[in-house]
Chains A and B, each alone.
Chain A
Amino acid sequence: RKEVEQDPGPFNVPEGATVAFNCTYSNSASQSFFWYRQDCRKEPKLLMSVYSSGNEDGRFTAQLNRASQYISLLIRDSKLSDSATYLCVVNRRSGNTPLVFGKGTRLSVIA
């Protein structure tokens, strides 16, 4: 089983739509959780951290369920500029340790 698994996608949605991405992780000892965004042929960039209590940043809402080892990202009122690949990312341990990436889910927002 892969350490981080995501919806395969792609998701093709119209502007203004709400879209949700899901992710599961296998290592119950994982400490930190993130969503990164990666544009084509570019490096990944941090979109938001994910906290147990759930957190929101504008149109983006992230949720974490440690018991189910499940992470989600909700994007409301999709914009064309949201088109990218969204990566679910887990940090195995606290501190200066490497990140483990899911394969990513491709989102295309269509006018």
Chain B
Amino acid sequence: GAVVSQHPSRVICKSGTSVKIECRSLDFQATTMFWYRQFPKKSLMLMATSNEGSKATYEQGVEKDKFLINHASLTLSTLTVTSAHPEDSSFYICSARKNYEQYFGPGTRLTVT
């Protein structure tokens, strides 16, 4: 069964609005979760590392004020895309480590019109 869930699986929003994506670890605690983004026919690119109870660590080139990450509990991290633009349209995937394996959520496909 699923180890990591994401919600929503698909979202279409208008330019300028904000979108929140949830990532949950199921039946285990994840002090660290990772957020990736994948454009069509491109590799997964790490955006940020989400740390429970502290600030997220962002990769170079990722705007922390645009991609807000909150890891308020040991099973939930959220990514908010603020003031979304069409170029933010992408596949957003989170992951968490359980035992020795990293599991990925099913992804959220964001389309900004």
Q: Which residues of A contact B (CB under 8 A)?
A: 4, 41-46, 87, 96, 98-104
Known: A99-B46, A101-B45. 13 other contacts (CB 8 A): A41-B109, A43-B105, A44-B44, A44-B93, A46-B101, A87-B43, A96-B31, A98-B34, A98-B46, A99-B95, A100-B46, A101-B44, A104-B43
Known contacts A96-B97, A98-B49: A45-B43 contact under CB 8 Å: no
Question: What's the dominant secondary structure at chain B's contact region?
Answer: strand
Contact of B93 with A96 in the complex, beta carbons under 8 Å: no
Instruction: Give the total of B residues in contact with A, Cβ under 8 Å.
Output: 21
Report the bound CA distance from A41 to B10 in whole Å. 11
Q: For residue B109, which residue of chain A has the nearest CB?
A: A41
Report the bound CA distance from A96 to B95 in whole Å. 11
Report the bound CA distance from A4 to B91 in whole Å. 20
